[in-house]
């Protein structure tokens, strides 16, 4: 396969607190190729957002990041601020979960869009304004010229998220990182936004790293899926393989939680709660909630390894975890 666009190797992210360090990301490996859509799924606190924030260095000053993050071969961890700024909004765009709070309430949409353009491209304000209209067109915003003068609070959730996408695409990036882009939206709007993302992706051969806890989102748009738990990837593979031929008990638990229209069985939540990230047990982090747990699970760290159709971090895989 071609050179990866983005590569995370052995990424660790720690947050120091008065009661000990919180190890939010514990040795993550991830690659994204040009034009590929990579999904990252997991529950709250699994470290999915934190890991992708490391790419652009958007944690606060307190975070301790180690390992390697390379973009087109250039190492980003420890890179000078000017280089990161060059990438942010330039070659790599990022959109966030809540478009209402992610947009500046005091500035018009046009101002915020133009700003994204002006930071990276030379040119007049007017040129930036015209580009802003083009961008709004790209995300299928109705009546783009009028929208330039609107304030964020005047737009619906879906429209705001389109603005966010337009801002992130302002300089034609190679990679778009989408952190829970549809979580704050209702189902119909979700579908629209995913449509927009899908369209942009194919029009521009855009690579997307999409973070979500919603497996349905991933099913629609991703090529590969990474399932995260307690700061690590526990299963990885092509989207079909992860859905139908997964090996890790956590993945099967997640899929079992999904309500389905075609069957009338009960919802099966995964019992228990994720472990505290400053007090992890030895061995597999899922051991306390796993139905298939054995003594081998508690002895040592479990690494991701190819098992069947997917890569899985389970010592007991392959288990007949059941396919639905």
Partner 1 sequence: MARYVLKRLAIAPLLLIGIVTIAFLISRLIPADPLVSIVGERNMGNPTVVAAAEQQWGLDKSLPAQYATYMGNLAQGDFGTSFRTKSSVWDDLTERLPATAELTLAALLFGVVAGIGLGVVAAVKRDRAPDHVARLFALTGSSIPVFWLGLILLFVFYARLGWLPGPGRLPPRTDPPAHMTGLYTIDSLAAGNFSLFWECSKRLIMPAFVLGWGLTGIVSRLIRASMLDELYADYVRTARAKGLTERSVMIRHVLRNALMPTITIVGLSFGALLTGAVLTETIFSWNGIGSYAVEATRTLDYPAINGVCILGGAIFILTSLATDVLYAVADPKIRLS
Partner 2 sequence: MTAALEVVTVSLAPTRHPFARALRRPQFAIGMAVLAFWILVIVTVSWWAPYGPLEETGARLQSPNGSHWLGTDTLGRDVLTRTLYGARYSLPTAAAVIGLTVLIGSLLGALAGFRGGWIDTVIMRSSDVVLAFPPILLAMAVAAALGPGLRNTVLALIVVWWPIYARLLRGQVISIRHREHIEAAVSVGVPKRRILRRHILPLATTPVLINATMDFGQVVLLTASLSFLGLGAVPPTPEWGVLIDEGSRNFYQWWIALAPGVAILSVVLAFNFLGDSLRDLFDPRGR
- Applying CB under 8 A, the residues found at the interface with partner 1 are 56, 58, 81, 85-90, 93-94, 96, 98, 101-107, 115-116, 119-120, 151, 153-154, 164, 167-168, 170
Strand locations in the chain, DSSP E? 4-17, 20-33, 37-41, 64-71, 74-75, 92-95, 175-179, 207-212, 224-229, 232-238, 305-307, 310-312
Q: Which is nearer to partner 2, 53 or 76 (CB)?
A: 53
Partner interacting with residue 6 (select from partner 2, partner 1, none; CB below 5-8 Å by kind)? none
Residues 91-130 that bind partner 2 (CB under 8 A): none
As a whole number of angstroms, the distance between CA 130 and CA 124 comes to: 10
Q: Residues 43 to 72: which contact partner 2 by CB under 8 A? A: 44-45, 47-50, 53, 59-60, 63
SS3 119: helix
Q: Which does residue 103 bind out of partner 2, partner 1, none, counting CB within 5 to 8 angstroms by kind?
A: partner 1
**Of 87 and 148, CB closest to partner 1:** 87
Q: How many residues bind partner 2, per CB under 8 A?
A: 19
Q: Is 213 helix (H, G, I), strand (E, B) or coil?
A: coil
Residues 6+ apart with CB under 8 A from 290: 249, 250, 284, 297
Task: Calculate the alpha carbon distances from 135 to 79, 116, 166, 194 in Å.
Answer: 30, 11, 5, 17
Q: Among 1, 2, 19, 80, which residue sits at the site for partner 2 (rule: CB under 8 A)? A: 19
Residue 214 binding partner 2, by CB under 8 A: no
> In the beta sheet, which residues pair with residue 233?
228
Q: Which residues bind partner 2 (CB under 8 A)?
A: 15, 17, 19, 22, 24, 44-45, 47-50, 53, 59-60, 63, 179, 276-278
């Amino acid at each position: 396969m071609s050179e990866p666009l983005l590569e995370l190797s052995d990424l660790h992210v720690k947050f120091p607190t008065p009661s000990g360090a919180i190890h939010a990301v514990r040795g993550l490996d991830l690659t994204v190729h040009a034009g590929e859509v990579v999904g990252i799924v997991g529950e709250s606190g699994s470290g999915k957002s934190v890991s992708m924030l490391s790419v652009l260095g958007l944690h606060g000053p307190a975070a301790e990041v180690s390992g390697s993050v390379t973009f087109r071969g250039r190492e980003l961890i420890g890179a000078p601020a000017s280089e990161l700024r060059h990438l942010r909004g330039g070659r790599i765009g990022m959109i966030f979960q809540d478009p209402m709070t992610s947009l500046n309430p005091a500035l018009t949409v046009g101002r915020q869009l133009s700003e994204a353009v002006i930071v990276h491209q030379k040119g007049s304000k007017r040129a930036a304004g015209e580009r802003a209209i083009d961008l709004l067109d790209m995300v299928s915003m109705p009546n783009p010229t009028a929208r330039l003068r609107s304030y964020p609070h005047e737009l619906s959730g879906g429209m705001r998220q389109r603005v966010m996408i337009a801002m992130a695409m302002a300089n034609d990036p190679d990679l778009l990182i989408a952190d829970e882009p549809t979580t704050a939206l209702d189902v119909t709007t979700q579908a629209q936004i995913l449509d927009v993302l899908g369209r942009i992706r194919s029009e521009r051969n855009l690579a997307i790293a999409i973070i979500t806890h919603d497996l349905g989102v991933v099913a629609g748009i991703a090529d590969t899926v990474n399932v995260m738990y307690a700061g690590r990837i526990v299963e990885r593979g092509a989207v079909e393989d992860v859905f139908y031929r997964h090996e890790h008990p956590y993945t099967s638990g997640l899929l079992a939680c999904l309500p389905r229209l075609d069957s009338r069985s009960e919802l099966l939540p995964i019992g228990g709660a994720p472990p505290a990230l400053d007090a992890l047990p030895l061995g597999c982090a899922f051991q306390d909630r796993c139905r298939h747990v054995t003594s081998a699970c508690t002895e040592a760290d479990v690494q991701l390894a190819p098992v069947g159709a997917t890569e899985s971090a389970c010592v007991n895989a392959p288990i007949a975890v059941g396919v639905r």
